Structure 1
Amino acid sequence: MNSSQLNSEQQKRFPGWLAVDFGTSNSTVTLFDPIEVPIAEVLPREQEMRLRDRMAQWLNSPAGIALPDVSASDWDKFIADISKNLEIEPSRLSEVFESDNRERFLEAIRQIELCLGTSDRFRRAVSKKLYQIYHEVFRVPTLESQNLIPVVLDIDRRSTEIKSELEISRLSALQLKMGREASDNRKKAIAQGTSSALKEIISRFHHSPKRYFGQDRSFPVIVDEDEETINVNQLIQAAWGHLIELTQDYRQRARRKFSEGGFLSAVVTYPTVAPPVVRKEVRELVEQLGLDDVQTAYDEAVSVAIFFLWREFGGNLNIGIESFKTRCRQEGNKWSQNVLVLDIGGGTTDLALIELTLEDKTPFFADNEDRGLGGRYYKLTPKLLGSSGHLQLGGELITLRIFRLLKVAIADFLLTAVSTGDLSSDKLEDLINSELNERFLENGQFKSGSILKCVDKENPEGDAAYKDALDTAEKVLPTRWQQAPQRLQTFYTLWDHAETAKIKLGQKTPEDGSILTFSLSEQQIYELLVQSAIKYQAKDTSSICVTIDSQQFDRAASSAIKEAIGIAKGLMDSRLRPEDTKVDSWNSHKVDWLILSGKTCNLDLVQRHIYQEFSKSPYFVWNPERITFVLEFTKLATSAGACYAEKLRRLRFDPEESKGLLRKGANQLEIDVKNLFYYLPCNFKRKTQSNELLTIFKAGQELYQLGADESVAKVRTEWQGIQLTNIIYRQDYEDGDLRLWGSFDGKTLMEKLGLSEPDFLKKIKVQFEIDQTLQFSVLLCQGNPHYLIDVSGIDVNSVISAASGTSALFADGKLKWNIAVERPHKDLNDGDIAINVIESATVDQPDAYHLVFEADKDVSKSLQEFHYLRDGSPEPGTGLISNPLPPFPKNGQHTFYVVQTDAQTNTKKWIRIGALSKPDFATDYPCQYRVSIDNYGILRMHAGEVPYWTSSDQKCLKQEGCVYRAELELQPNEVDKERDPFCGIH
C-alpha cells in the first residue's frame, strides 16, 4: 500500500483506530470502531456464548467426566429432572443451550439450581463445577462490548492470526502477499524451481523481516525478471501497509456494519527491548503510509498486561473490581499488586514488571446531593517497575534446535545403517571411508551414536565436537542454502518436521508416565534424501525410521527456556529486592500475579521450569491460581491490549462528570495508562577505563515534562566530564546483560572545535537526556551552561526597598538570597523568601513554610548566567534557580513573602512580595515548577527546567555557556546468525 492509494479513501476519516502487532511468526490487528454499542441483555455476547458452550458440553458428558466424585445414578436423576421440567428429552438437553431462545436458556440455568436434590455431596460437586464454569465465563474478554473487533486477516481459514511470512509479488509500489498464501506459493516455487529460479525465490520470499528491523540491510529482489534492491525498512513498511489493506478488505467483506472513512489513526506495537533506532523508525514508516496519527507508546509486554488486566475485570466492573481488591495489599483507600508479564513469542521474549494500584477516587457529594445507589469511582494506576527481554529468544530458536537434533539423528541413523549393511549407498560409504572426522570412527567404521551424542545434550554449543557433528550431518543431509540455493527445499521440509516435533513433544507427559515420541517414516526420510540427490537401497524398508523422544526434546529446548525464565527472575529479584540489606527478602514485596503469553508458553517444559524457578523465589508466592495462561489469546492479546489501552487514554473523563452514573450504582474505572511512561524501565550505564561502569540513569527514575513545548516526558543527568569515546549500555537489571545502546564520538567533535585533547577534556561538559521512548540526546557545553530567561516576573527590589529602605540584592559581590528546601523547624533569617505562609498559618502550622531562597549563605558556586528575551533585552545577568516547588494551591498561584525583623520590637514578620500563577499550558506528563531570581531583582516562575541558552551551530561550543544538542549515535539491531533460522547457514 502506498500513500496515494491510502489518500484516495480519505475523504472521510474513520472515527476509530487500528492496533497492529506485526510479529516475527504471526500477526494480528484489532480495530476500535464506535459505530454501535451492543447492549447485553444477559451477559456480553462473548461471555454468553462461552456459558452456552460450557453448559452444553457439561450436561452432555457422561457422569464420570461431568462429576467424577458422584454416583452415575445421581447424575442421571439430575439430568432427568432438568429435562422433565424443561419438557425435553434428556438426550437433547444440550440443544437448549445451542438455540437462540434466550428465555429458554435462562430457564435451563434456573432449573439446574432447582434440581440439585438433597444430597450434600452432590450439591457441593455441582456448586464446584458451576463455580469453575462461571469463573471461566467471567474471564472471557468482552471485546465487542468495548467496540474492539479482532480483524479476520486470514479469510480462507477464518483466523484472526496470519503468518508473518511475506512474498514480494510486485516491485513497483512494492506489493506483498502474506500468510499461508505466501507459504504455499513458496513451497510450489521451490518444488518446481531450477537453480536460477531458486535465487529468485530466496529474494522474493521472506519468513519474517521483523527480525532484521533496525539493521542497515538491503537485498536484490527479482520478480518476473525485473530486479531491484529493497531494504529491510521498505519491506516492513509494506507489511504494515498490507495488514492495513487486509483490515480494509475485512471491513468490506464482513457481515457486520463498520464506520466509513479511511484509516488515519493507528497504534503500532514493538518488542520491549527494541533499540531506539527501531522505536524511532516505527512511527516514521507508518506515517509515510499516509496515516497522520500514529501511537507507538505501547510495547508488546505492556500491551499484554493491559489486555489481561481488562480480562481480570471480566467486563463487569461491579463484580470485577471487588474481586480484584481481594487479591491486593490494602493501604487506606488504595489496593496494590505486582504483575509480571512473561511473553515468549515465536521470535522474541518480552517482559514487564508492573505495579497496579487501585484507588477510590469517588467525588465528594455535598450533604444536599443525592448519592443514589452509591456507585464508586476507581482509578487504576499502572507503574512500570521494569522491562526486559530478548530479540532472538522464542519458539523459532527452540524449533531451530530441534531441527539440528533431527538432522543429526537422521545422519547418525543413516551412517549406522550403512556401517551395519542394512543400507547401501555409494555416497554415504564414500563419506565414511574418506571424509568422516576421526572422532566419529572406530576401527575404520562409523561409530553408531557418536554424532548424535555431540548434539543431544543441554548446551552442546560449548563443545568442540558440536560443530564437527553439524558439519558431518550437513554432508549427509545438506540444508545450508546460503551458497547453494538447491538445498532450500530440504531445509524447509526438515524445518516443517521440526515444527511438528516441537508441538508433539512439547505436550504434557501422559499420566501413565510414558515418554512421548516423534518419528520420521521411511517415506519422509526418502523424500529428504531424494531432495539431496542421495540414492540408497535398504534390506528392509520397514526398519528405516528415525525417532526422537520428549527427553531429547527437553535437553534441546531447555537452555532457551531457562534463558527466558532467567531474565524474568533476574528482573523480578532486582526490582523487588529490599534496598536495606538488613531486611529479610522473604518479607519484601512479591509478584502477586504472573501472566504468561506467547504460544511458546504452551510448552509443558515452560510450565515445569517456571515452577522450578518461581516456587523457591522469595519474591513470588507460589499459587497456580495467580498464574494466567490463556492459549486462545496468546497472540491476539498484544494488539487487543494496545487497542484497549489507547481507548482508555483517549476517552478518559473527569470523576466529577461521572456522578450521574454513580447515582445509578454503576462503578466507574479509569486506568491511567499514561503513568506507564512516567518511570524509566531499566538502567543505563557509561563505560569507563576500568571494568566499573558509571550509572547515568537508574530504573524507576521518574520522568517529567521539561518544558511547555515538550511532547514527551524526560529526565537529565547532572553535567559530567566528556570522553573522547562516550559509550552507553542498557542494563535491564543488576547483573543482567549489558546491551550496547549507542555512542557519541567526542574525538571528532574535538577536532572540529580545534581544541587540544587536554583542553577539550577540561572545558567541554556533557549532559545526557532520555525520554519515555528511551531516545537519547547529548547536551554539550563549554564550562557551566547559561540559561535563557523568556518569561516576565515580579519585582522583589521594590518590596525590599519599601520595607527596609535599601534595594540591594547583592553585597560584596554576593547574592543575598539563596535557595532552600522545606525546613519546618528552622529559624528564619532576614531576607529569606518563602511561600505557603498564609496556608501554614491557616492550619496552625506557622513553621510549615517552604523556603525557596535562604539568606546569608555563600552562593558563589550556585550563581548562573542569564540571557534575556524579554524586559527590553537587558545585558546578561546572574541569578539563582530554585529546587522544584511544592504543588500549587487550589487557586493556581504561589504567593511569595520575604521575612524581616522589626527593629523596634525585634520580632520577625512576613512581607508579601506578590503572587506568580501556574504557567498556562496543558501538561501531558508530571511537571515540576521552579522560580528564578536575578541580580535585577526579578522573581520568575518556570514550567519544567529553565531553558538553556542554546544554538544549533556546533561552533557555539567555542563560546562559554552556550549549549549544543546532539544525538546519540544509535546502535543498529544486530542479529546473531546462530539464532536466526532463515539466514541459510543451518
Structure 2
Amino acid sequence: MTETYTVPDPHRRIQPPRRRVRDRRHNGLAAVDFGTSNSTVTLYDPNLPPPVLPLPADQRAVLSRAVVRLLRSEPQTDEISDLSAGQCRAEWDTLRARLGRELAGGSPEGLADALEAEEGTHQALLYDVLLALEAAQAGGTAPFAAWLADRLHRCYDEAFGTPALEHYSLFPVRLDNATLRDEVPSRLDITAVDPDLVVRLGRPLGGGAALASPLRGLKHQLDKPEFRHPLHGGARSVELEPLLGGAFAFLLDRTDEFTGAHPDRLDDAPIDHVVATYPTMAPPAVRRRLESVIGGLLGVGEVDLRYDEAIAAALFFLMRDLGANHTIGVEALRARFRAVPGAERHWIENTLVVDVGGGTTDIALITTHLHDETPPMPDAPAGSTGRHYRVVPRLRGTSGRSRRGGDFLTLQVFHLIKAMIADHLLTLPHPGGDSFPDEPETWADWQRDTTAALDPIHQTEDGRYRPGSLVAQAQLALQRDTSVAEPPTGQRSRDNVELVLGTRTAGRPDDPETAARERAFSDLWDLADDAKIGVAPDRAYGLPADIVEDIVRKVIPVPGSLPPGLGTELDPLTYEDFEAVCRPMLVEISRLAAALARTRLTGGERLDRVILTGKASRLGLAAQVVAREVQAGQGPQGRPVQVVVERKYAKNAASMGAAWAASMSSFDTAEPDEELLRQGATSVSIEVDNLLLDLPCTLSMRTPSNQNRALLKVGTPFQELPGGRLRAFATIGLLPKLLVILREVDGGQPLPWGTFRWSDLSLRHTEETGVRLDPQVWPRQIRCGIEADGGLDVHLLLWRGDRPVHRVDRTSAALRTPTPEGGFLDLDRLADRILVAGSPSAPARPALRGEPAPTRERFAGEDGMLRSALLGRIPLPPPDEDGRWAFLLHDEQGHQQLLGRLEAAPGPLVPHLASVDEDGVIRVHAGDPPLWTAESPIDVEHHPGMVYRHPLGTPKSETDDHDNPFDGTH
C-alpha cells in the first residue's frame, strides 16, 4: 500500500479550525479571561437547578474546614485582651471534651475528625457543632466568650466571603489536567500547523513536540496587528489573530471536555456563546480584534464583549456580597451601606476595585445604590410584609495601566537578580590562569575581556571589575518613577549586564546559541517569579546554586568546567531590595486608583471600600502600598478606608463576574409581587446592565495649545438606540486637518484613542473612486462631531452646514394637526398647544415644551426633501396598557381635541420623544431620530446636513518597548 503525503504550502495562511456546532448548542455560556500570565474560564450552565441546601456547597465546605481548624486550635496570649489565656484554654478544653462526648461519642480530636469526614455529605453535624459553640458563649467567662465569638465570626466571614457559585449555576472549568487546577498558564506552544493550527497552553512540553519557540505574554501583543511568531527554520510564521484564535480554541475545547466529563449535571453540547473580557485600557481595535477572532475566525455563534476586566471584577464582588440567599444578602448590604441624606429608603456604597493582573492593572469605581421600593399595602398588618429591594450599581469611572501588573514586578526582580548573578560571575574567585590548561580560554581571560567591554564606571584603574557596581547601577535604574518613560541610564544598565549574562534573543538568528539564550531567559524568569513570591519581611530569598549554575552554563562563553563555588556564595535577595524595585510600580497604579476616586467622588462623597484583586494582589507589599496611597488621596480629614484583599479567587474574579453578569442580564428586571410580599417574602431586583449605561472615561481632543478640550465627559449617559446599541455624541465644530482623540486618565498621561487626517481621507477617496473631493468645501465648510458607543469605539461624523439632518420615514405612523387658514404653521406656537397623555389616570401634559427646551432640527424623508421640525427633549410619560400615547391639540377656544394615538417603537424600553414638523406632522421617536447618513463623503458635498460616519484610525501604541517582558529584549 502506498501512502500519499501532501507537502504543506509555505504561502498558505496558518489558521485554527473553526468550531463545529452541529445538532445542538450548549444552553449556557463560557466567560473567558485570557490573561497575560494565566487564563481562566467560568461556565454558566442552567441545565439543572441548584440543589436546595441550608447552605450552598461551596460555602458549607469552607465553613466546615474553618470550624475544624478552630476545634484543633488553642487560644493564644495575643488573642486575649486581659491576659487570661490560661483560663480560656481550660474553658476551651472543657467545652471541646463535652462536645466530643455529646456529638461524636469520643474525644475532642474525634469531633474534629468526624466533622472533617462529613464535609461533603451535608449531614447535620456541622450545624450541631455551631449551635453548641454559639450557646457555650453565654456560659463562659467574658474573656472566653469574646475570644470564641471572634473566632466564630472569622469562620462565618470566611464562608460568606466565598461566592455561592453553584447557586448561580457557575462552574470554574478545569483547564490544567496535569495539576487539576481551574487556571492554566498562558504560555503557548504550537503543536501543529497543517492542516490547521493547534496550540497548547500550559507548562513546557517535553520531547521537542513544539514547532516554534514557546510564546509567553501573547496578550501584550493585542494592540500590535503586525506581530508574527516564526516557526522553527524561519520559513513560515503565524500571525497574531490565528495565535489568539488557537488560544481561545484551546480554552473552549477544554470547556467542552469539562462539560462532557459531567453529563449528569452539565449540558454536554458544544459551547457557542462566549463572553470575553479584555483590558480596561485596551484601545477599541483590541475589542474589535477579539470579536473578529472569536466570532469570525473560530465561528462562535454569539460573542459578548460588554465587560472589561475592571467591570467584570467589580461584578464578581457584587455577586459574592449578595450571596446565595438574596433575602439575607440584601439585608447585609443595607447594614453595611450608608443612608443617603434626605432620601428615604435609599442607601449607597462607593467601592474602588483594583485588579492587579499579570500584565495589566484595571481599576473601576462603582457606586452601588440600594433602594427599598416596597409598594404601600395599607391593609396589611404593620411589619408583616416582605420587602422589595432594587440593587443598582453605577459605574463612576474606569482607569488602569497596560503593562503594569505581576509580570512587570517579576521583570523588575529579573533585572536585579540578573545583575546580581553578573556581579557574582565577575567577582567569582578562581585558581588562576592555569586552572583550565586544556581549554582555549580561561575563566580569568573571560573575566578580563568582559570587564573591558563594560562602561568605565565598572572598571578600576588597573582594568579590573569594580565589585558591586553592576548591582548598584541596576538598583538605581530600577527605582525610577514608572509613570514616565525610562531614561537612557536604564538601558545602559541592562546593556552592561547583558554583556556578562546574555539572555536576549531579539534580532538574533534561529540557531542553537539563540535557543540556549531563550532557555536561560525562561529559567531566570521562573527564578525571579519564585523569588517575588518567596521573599518576605522576615525572610530573604536564597538563589538556588544549582539553578544559577544551570542558567550560566547555557550562555557563558567559556567552555568546559566552571570555577568551583559558582552560585554558592551569591547573596540572597533581601526584602529591602525587593521592596525598593517593586514599590515604584505599585505606587504608580495606587495613585491612578486614588486619582480616580478623588476626581469622581465630589461634593462630600467618600470612598467606603477598596477591593484589591488579581494575582499580584497576593503580595503583602501591594496591599500596603495601595492602602497608603488611596488613604492619602482622601485628604488629611478623610475617614480610614477599608482595604479588602481577595486571595482565593484573585485570578478567577473577572471570568466569574462576567459569567454572572451575562447570565443575570438575560432575566428581566423583577417587579414587586404584592402577593409574595404579603406572605412575608423578600424580593430583590439586580440591574447589572446599569453599569454599562454611562461613559466610563472622558474623551477629549488634542489642541495646539496642549490644553486638551473635553468632548464627552466621564459619566455622560449613553443613549440607547433601537437594537440595543449605545451612543454618546458631541459636536466638535469645523473639521480640523488633523484630529487626535484622547482617553483621559485621572492621575496619569492621556492615551491616544483615535486619529483622523483630512489628507488621508481625500487620498483614499480619490484612489477608490477616481473622484477628487472639492478643496473649496473640504475641510473649510465641513463640520464634525464624535460618536462613542458602549465599547468606546469612536467614529467621526462629518456633515456640511450648521447641524446634521435626521431621517424620518414618511410612511410610518404619524398624526397631522389641522392646517390653519393661509396654510402657514408657526412651529413655536404649535408646540405650545400639543399635549400628550399616557396612563388614563395621568393628566395630559405638554408633549414638547419643558426643560430642556425642544431643539430646532431638519428632517429628511425618503425623497430627500428637507423640512424644519421641533424635537422635544423631555421623555414622554409612560404609555397606556396598549403601549400607546394619546396626542391632543389645545385649540384657541381652550378645548382639547384628540388628534389620535401613536404607539412606542418596538425594541428596548428607551425614552421616547415627540416631534412636529413644518407640515404639522407629529411623530414619536425612540430616542433621537436616526441621522440622514451618506454612503460616501462626496454625498456630503452635494447634500448639506447629510452625515458621513468615518471610523477613526488606530493610533500607534505609546508604551515603552522594555515594558514587554517577553519581546526578547531582556
After TM superposition, is the score higher than 0.5?
yes
One of 467, 471, 481 as aligned partner of 2:495? 471
User: Does the Cα contact within 8 Å between 2:59 and 2:164 map onto a contact in 1?
Assistant: yes
> How far does residue 630 in structure 1 lie from its aligned partner after superposition?
2.1
Code of the residue aligned with 2:530 in structure 1: it is T
Code of the residue aligned with 2:190 in structure 1: it is I
Structure 1 residue 728 and structure 2 residue 714: aligned? no
| 1:670 paired residue number | 685
Change (3 A) 1:300 1:876: closer
Change (3 A) 1:898 1:254: closer
One of 303, 309, 312 as aligned partner of 1:300? 309
Aligned counterparts, 1:301-380, within 5 A: 301-330=310-339, 331-363=343-375, 367=379, 374-380=385-391
Which runs of 5 or more structure 1 residues have no equivalent in the other structure? Answer: 191-199, 511-515, 579-587, 811-815, 819-828, 903-908
| 2:35 paired residue number | 23
| 1:929 paired residue number | 913
Tell me how far apart the structure 1 counterparts of residues 246 and 801 of structure 2 sit (CA, whole Å): 48
Higher mean displacement: 140-149 or 373-382: 373-382
One of 259, 268, 272 as aligned partner of 2:280? 272
One of 100, 104, 110 as aligned partner of 1:83? 100
Structure 1 residue 866 and structure 2 residue 874: aligned? no
Tell me how far apart the structure 2 counterparts of residues 949 and 863 of structure 1 sit (CA, whole Å): 16
Code of the residue aligned with 2:697 in structure 1: it is C
Q: Deviations over 1:1-60 (max 9, x none)?
A: 9897632x4302211111111111111111111222233433111111111111111111
One of 422, 434, 438 as aligned partner of 1:411? 422
User: Does the Cα contact within 8 Å between 1:372 and 1:662 map onto a contact in 2?
Assistant: no
> How far does residue 878 in structure 1 lie from its aligned partner after superposition?
3.1
| TM-score, scaled to structure 1 | 0.86
One of 524, 533, 546 as aligned partner of 2:547? 524
| 2:634 paired residue number | 618
User: Does the Cα contact within 8 Å between 2:730 and 2:785 map onto a contact in 1?
Assistant: yes
| 1:285 paired residue number | 293
> How far does residue 957 in structure 1 lie from its aligned partner after superposition?
1.7
| 1:644 paired residue number | 660
SS of the counterpart of 1:211?
helix
Tell me how far apart the structure 2 counterparts of residues 864 and 612 of structure 1 sit (CA, whole Å): 53
SS of the counterpart of 1:36?
coil
Q: Deviations over 1:135-182 (max 9, x none)?
A: 22122111111111111111221100111111110102544443434x
Higher mean displacement: 736-745 or 482-491: 482-491
Tell me how far apart the structure 1 counterparts of residues 621 and 383 of structure 2 sit (CA, whole Å): 53
Aligned counterparts, 1:701-740, within 5 A: 701-706=716-721, 708=722, 710-718=723-731, 720-733=733-746, 736-740=748-752
> How far does residue 773 in structure 1 lie from its aligned partner after superposition?
0.7
Higher mean displacement: 887-896 or 341-350: 887-896
SS of the counterpart of 1:544?
coil
Which runs of 5 or more structure 2 residues have no equivalent in the other structure? Answer: 1-13, 436-441, 509-513
Change (3 A) 1:943 1:157: same
Higher mean displacement: 466-475 or 882-891: 882-891
| TM-score, scaled to structure 2 | 0.87
SS of the counterpart of 1:520?
coil
One of 905, 917, 939 as aligned partner of 2:922? 939
> How far does residue 479 in structure 1 lie from its aligned partner after superposition?
0.7
SS of the counterpart of 1:56?
helix
SS of the counterpart of 1:518?
coil
Change (3 A) 1:593 1:896: same
Aligned counterparts, 1:40-51, within 5 A: 40-51=52-63
Aligned residue-pair number: 910
One of 777, 785, 789 as aligned partner of 2:795? 777
User: Does the Cα contact within 8 Å between 1:221 and 1:228 map onto a contact in 2?
Assistant: yes
| 2:575 paired residue number | 550
Q: Deviations over 1:337-373 (max 9, x none)?
A: 1111100001111011111111123356585x89996
Structure 1 residue 797 and structure 2 residue 813: aligned? no
Q: Deviations over 1:457-513 (max 9, x none)?
A: 3118856544333222112111112244131121112111111111112x4x24xxx
SS of the counterpart of 1:15?
coil
Q: Deviations over 1:886-925 (max 9, x none)?
A: 43454655555555665xxxxxx2543624434231216x
> How far does residue 271 in structure 1 lie from its aligned partner after superposition?
0.9
Change (3 A) 1:890 1:248: same
| 1:823 paired residue number | none
> How far does residue 105 in structure 1 lie from its aligned partner after superposition?
3.2
Aligned counterparts, 1:420-569, within 5 A: 425-431=443-449, 434-444=452-462, 445-457=464-476, 458-459=479-480, 464-484=488-508, 485=514, 486-505=516-535, 507=536, 509-510=537-538, 516-535=539-558, 538=563, 544-569=569-594
Tell me how far apart the structure 1 counterparts of residues 832 and 102 of structure 2 sit (CA, whole Å): 86
Code of the residue aligned with 1:112 in structure 2: it is L
Change (3 A) 1:852 1:894: farther
> How far does residue 609 in structure 1 lie from its aligned partner after superposition?
1.0
Tell me how far apart the structure 2 counterparts of residues 830 and 470 of structure 1 sit (CA, whole Å): 76
| 1:193 paired residue number | none
> How far does residue 667 in structure 1 lie from its aligned partner after superposition?
2.3
Code of the residue aligned with 1:835 in structure 2: it is L
One of 168, 174, 180 as aligned partner of 1:152? 174
Tell me how far apart the structure 2 counterparts of residues 51 and 937 of structure 1 sit (CA, whole Å): 70
Q: Deviations over 1:516-572 (max 9, x none)?
A: 312224433322221123447657668622322111111111111111111111211
Change (3 A) 1:153 1:782: same
> How far does residue 715 in structure 1 lie from its aligned partner after superposition?
1.4
Tell me how far apart the structure 2 counterparts of residues 433 and 606 of structure 1 sit (CA, whole Å): 38
SS of the counterpart of 2:611?
strand
| 2:439 paired residue number | none
| 1:906 paired residue number | none
> How far does residue 621 in structure 1 lie from its aligned partner after superposition?
9.0
| 1:575 paired residue number | 600
Change (3 A) 1:221 1:271: same
| 1:215 paired residue number | 224
Code of the residue aligned with 1:76 in structure 2: it is D
Aligned counterparts, 1:130-145, within 5 A: 130-145=152-167
> How far does residue 643 in structure 1 lie from its aligned partner after superposition?
0.7
User: Does the Cα contact within 8 Å between 2:541 and 2:573 map onto a contact in 1?
Assistant: yes
| 1:965 paired residue number | 949
Structure 1 residue 761 and structure 2 residue 744: aligned? no
One of 110, 117, 130 as aligned partner of 2:131? 110
Q: Deviations over 1:816-850 (max 9, x none)?
A: 222xxxxxxxxxx798324358999978xx9x856
Tell me how far apart the structure 2 counterparts of residues 777 and 559 of structure 1 sit (CA, whole Å): 37
Structure 1 residue 169 and structure 2 residue 169: aligned? no
> How far does residue 687 in structure 1 lie from its aligned partner after superposition?
2.0
Change (3 A) 1:868 1:489: closer
SS of the counterpart of 2:541?
strand
Change (3 A) 1:250 1:175: farther
Aligned counterparts, 1:819-898, within 5 A: 832-835=832-835, 849=846, 852=849, 864-869=857-862, 876-888=866-878, 890=880, 892-896=883-887
Tell me how far apart the structure 2 counterparts of residues 295 and 317 of structure 1 sit (CA, whole Å): 27
User: Does the Cα contact within 8 Å between 2:692 and 2:790 map onto a contact in 1?
Assistant: yes
Change (3 A) 1:364 1:175: farther
Q: Deviations over 1:914-938 (max 9, x none)?
A: 24434231216x434131322x222
User: Does the Cα contact within 8 Å between 1:60 and 1:93 map onto a contact in 2?
Assistant: no
Higher mean displacement: 347-356 or 251-260: 251-260
> How far does residue 973 in structure 1 lie from its aligned partner after superposition?
5.2
Change (3 A) 1:435 1:4: closer
Structure 1 residue 603 and structure 2 residue 612: aligned? no
